[in-house]
Each structure stands twice: as structure tokens, then as C-alpha cells.
Structure 1
Amino acid sequence: MSAKNYWLAFGIGVTAGAAIALLYAPQSGARTRKKLMKGMEGAVDDASDYLKDAGDYLKEQAERLSEEAQDAIKRARKQASHFVDKAGDQASDVVDSVSDAVGSAVKSARSLV
């Protein structure tokens, strides 16, 4: 049973119990109202506890998701850095190859002259 259904059933039960108690109450209205108020205070306390627990749970989940997001960002940065390093190495190799080719072409051209 989900928490929503639980609290819905709880609320219906409290309402039905209060209605039955009012119908069969052997005491005065003032005394019955006092008892009802005490019962409602307990329900409010229960609801307050539930909301506090739900808030704590949501806070924990937000912290966990924040940590996971930070880890994902770190991994992405490492991968990007690795990619940039590889690209730089490749570019350096191409520049060296082109430089060697130009140097060979210059030497060949000088030897022809």
C-alpha cells in the first residue's frame, strides 16, 4: 500500500470513527468536543511526523543526485581532457609528418638545382 493510500484510508477511518462516536456518545457535547480535539491533535502530530520524514527523504535523495551529477561531470571532464590530449598528439604527429615532407621536398628541389 502506498503512503498516499495509507493516509487516505487513515483519514476515512478517523472520520468514520468520529461520526460513530458522535452518534453514540453518552456524554455532553462539550466533553465530546474536547475528546475530538485531543484526537485531532494526535492526527496532526502523525501528519507532521510523516511530512518531516518525507522532507528528510527528499533531502537525502537530492544530496545523492547531486553527488551523482558531480561524479558524472568529473568523468566527462576526464574524457574530454583525454580526447583533447589525443587530438593534440595527432595534430602534432601530422605537423611533424608535413614538416618532414616539406623538408624532403626542399632537399629534393635543392638537389635538382
Structure 2
Amino acid sequence: MSAKNYWLAFGIGVSTGAALALLYAPQSGVRTRRRLRKSVNNAGDYLLDAGDYLKSQAEHFAEEAQKAIKHTKKQVDSVVDKTGDLVADTVKSARMII
């Protein structure tokens, strides 16, 4: 097949496809563009809402992490104090024995 015949067949195929698409299109171009515009706007609103939700969740998790850190710090401080007291008592007892 020569290049000329190839491009002629390609052009006929494209024209036929475009004509069939117009004939079988379920709605007009104006209506299609309107629906696309509405879908894009809805997608933008959805993304904004999703962003707000993710931001609020991140803030919530950050607060919970801070609470957990404070709680853990209190527990560690308590254990360190008890261990210090125990060591001091042990040293006192060891000095009495010696």
C-alpha cells in the first residue's frame, strides 16, 4: 500500500468515525460541555472537602500524639523516681552493712 493510499484510507476512517460519533451521540455538544463543566466543578469541591477532612484528621492525630507523649513522659518520670529511691535505699542498706 502506498503512502497516498494509506493516508486516504486513514482520512476516510477518521471521517467515518466522526460522522458515526455525531449520529449516535446521546446528547448535544452544549449539553455535554455543560455536564463536563459541572463534573469538573464538583470534582474541585470534592477535592477541597477531602483536603479539609485530611487537615482536620492530621490535627486530631497530632493532638493525640502529644497526649500520648505527655502520658509516656509522666510514666517514665515515675519509673525513674522509683528507681532512684530504690537505688538510694539499696546504697543506704549497703553502707549500714559495711
> Does residue 51 of structure 2 align to residue 51 of structure 1?
no
* Structure 1 equivalent of residue 86 of structure 2: 101
Aligned to 1:83, which of 65, 68, 77?
Answer: 68
Query: Residues 41-97 of structure 1: CA distance to partner in whole angstroms, max 9, x if unpaired?
Result: xx2111111110111001101110111011111111111111111111101100000
- 2: CA distance, partners of 1:60 / 1:103: 64
Please list, as runs of the form range in 1=range in 2, the aligned pairs for 1:1-113 lying within 5 A after superposition.
Answer: 11=26, 43-113=28-98
- Of all paired residues, the percent bearing the same amino acid is 18
- 2: CA distance, partners of 1:75 / 1:97: 33
Unaligned runs of 5+ in 2: 1-24
- 1: CA distance, partners of 2:88 / 2:71: 25
- 1: CA distance, partners of 2:96 / 2:71: 37
Unaligned runs of 5+ in 1: 1-9, 15-42
Name the aligned partner's letter for residue 44 of structure 1: G
